Amino acid sequence: MINTRIGRFLLRVLLPISIVCTLLLVAYQSGSWDAASQHRVRYHPKPRLNGTRENAAFVVLVRNEDLDSMRNTMQQLESRFNRKYGYPWIFLNDQPFDDRFVDFTSGLASGETFYGTLNSTMWGYPDWIDQEKARARREAMEQDGVIYGGSESYRHMCRFQSGFFFRHPLLDPYDYYWRVEPHVNFPCDIDYDPFQVMRERDLTYGWVITIKEFEKTIPTLWSTVKEFMKEYPQYIVPKDDPESLLGWISPDGGDTYNLCHFWSNFEIGNLAWMRSQAYLDFFNYLDKSGGFFYERWGDAPVHSIAAALMLKRSQVHWFYDIGYFHNPWTHCPSEPSWLGIEKCSCDPSNSFDRHSWSCTPEYLDFTRTSRQDYLIAQRN
Ligand SMILES: Nc1nc2c(ncn2[C@@H]2O[C@H](COP(=O)(O)OP(=O)(O)OP(=O)(O)O)[C@@H](O)[C@H]2O)c(=O)[nH]1
Ligand SMILES: *[C@@H]1O[C@H](CO)[C@@H](O)[C@H](O)[C@H]1NC(C)=O
Ligand SMILES: *[C@@H]1O[C@H](CO)[C@@H](O)[C@H](O)[C@H]1NC(C)=O
Ligand SMILES: [Mg+2]
């Protein structure tokens, strides 16, 4: 009698309680999930500076498999810069991040870390795309030896980076982003806050490396851009305006594209511009033409052409004094008197900006500026 009463008590009261406790413990240990958005947030004690921080975040599209190189990159950016600021990191992925990825990245961050996935609008085929035609085009480009020509995921990636990352809900709270990729290196100390420079100088787009695109990836991009320019003249900085950048990518006044672009694996940008109707109209126009899938348009020429058409040159900044490596090219500042060469582990004589494939000499010529004009440290 007593035994069954105790048994019933255990079953009815203690068992449910212990199940709830176990579930809570599991939820706690695996980080908290914002149920509404399916986005994971890891709160982290952060060393706060005495000073203000801009409303900005790092944004990284990355796969779980790239955890090790992601940590290497993060560690460099943290110790070279962010440990003094604690800017948040936003990690995005077409697949859910696994626990190991969350644990091993949040542990390295001086700021909060956020983890989000992409939905089918951001990573998927729009309904006007003929997927069979896209598949055939991939095969043809693969056979033609076009880099990533046969890759389907690379195309989704480029389209996402061109038109969607800035609309991901995790970026909604921010004004500025700094794009980071796994496998990149930051070989120099960064002794100032680039986000602060963006805001104080009213900049829209910051870059470090320029390069020429492989023509076979964008056969019809420029003709599509020309149609856009005709249809939306209100968005284009007039080409005779001294602030126009068009001549840098099209020395014949808009007729042809010289393939020059900012290498978008590094970018510091103003999100308000990406979210603007002008940029969205531009992206949608390109997207409707199908070139992200039928060709292999990269986000680098897309962002760069948008900037050269719609931004004034004074809104665009070369972060000359930020050392950077993305395989196979390095940007290494070469003004030891200003920067202190001991602050860098890169070799200035290796810097891509004097390479014949770089478009930076043309940029400097066209804008009639010099490397020294871009040193921030010098101005302090
Ligand atoms: N989650 C996810 N991220 C991807 C995928 N493909 C590319 N990325 C990310 O998108 C960015 C660009 O991809 P990369 O493979 O670096 O492309 P790339 O810089 O043109 O080429 P390499 O770096 O030379 O390979 C990086 O941040 C990658 O981590 C994918 O299928 N899933
Ligand atoms: C923070 O900086 C301000 C102005 O630079 C100074 O007045 C203040 O004492 C500093 N606070 C701390 C905690 O260091
Ligand atoms: C994907 O997310 C974006 C941004 O929140 C939203 O506008 C879009 O409607 C979503 N797409 C789907 C298929 O849910
Ligand atoms: Mg890359």
Q: Atom 5 of ligand 3 has which residue's CA nearest to it?
A: 169
Q: 18 CB less than 6 Å from ligand 1? A: no
Q: What is the pLDDT of residue 31?
A: 46
Q: Atom 8 of ligand 1 has which residue's CA nearest to it?
A: 62
Which of 54, 78, 213, 267 is labelled catalytic?
267
pLDDT at 35 over 80: no
Q: What is the pLDDT of residue 296?
A: 98
pLDDT digits (tens, 9 = 90+) for 55-83: 999 999 999 999 999 999 999 999 999 99
pLDDT digits (tens, 9 = 90+) for 219-261: 999 999 999 999 999 999 999 999 999 999 999 999 999 999 9
**For this structure, is 267 an active site residue?**
yes
Q: What is the mean pLDDT of residues 208-225?
A: 98
If you measure from the C-alpha of residue 67 to the centroid of ligand 4, how many angstroms do you get, rounded to a whole number? 14
If you measure from the C-alpha of residue 363 to the centroid of ligand 4, how many angstroms do you get, rounded to a whole number? 23
CB atoms under 10 Å from CB of 271, counted, come to 22
Q: Which atom of ligand 3 is nearest to the CA of 168?
A: 4
pLDDT at 34 over 50: no
pLDDT digits (tens, 9 = 90+) for 298-356: 999 999 999 999 999 999 999 999 999 999 999 999 875 555 556 888 989 899 999 99
Q: 157 CB less than 6 Å from ligand 1? A: yes
Q: Atom 10 of ligand 3 has which residue's CA nearest to it?
A: 121
Between strands 329-331 and 260-262, the pairing is unpaired
Helix (H, G, I), strand (E, B) or coil at 230: helix
If you measure from the C-alpha of residue 120 to the centroid of ligand 3, how many angstroms do you get, rounded to a whole number? 8
Ligand 3: residue of 118, 119, 171 to mutate (most ligand atoms within 8 A of CB) is 119
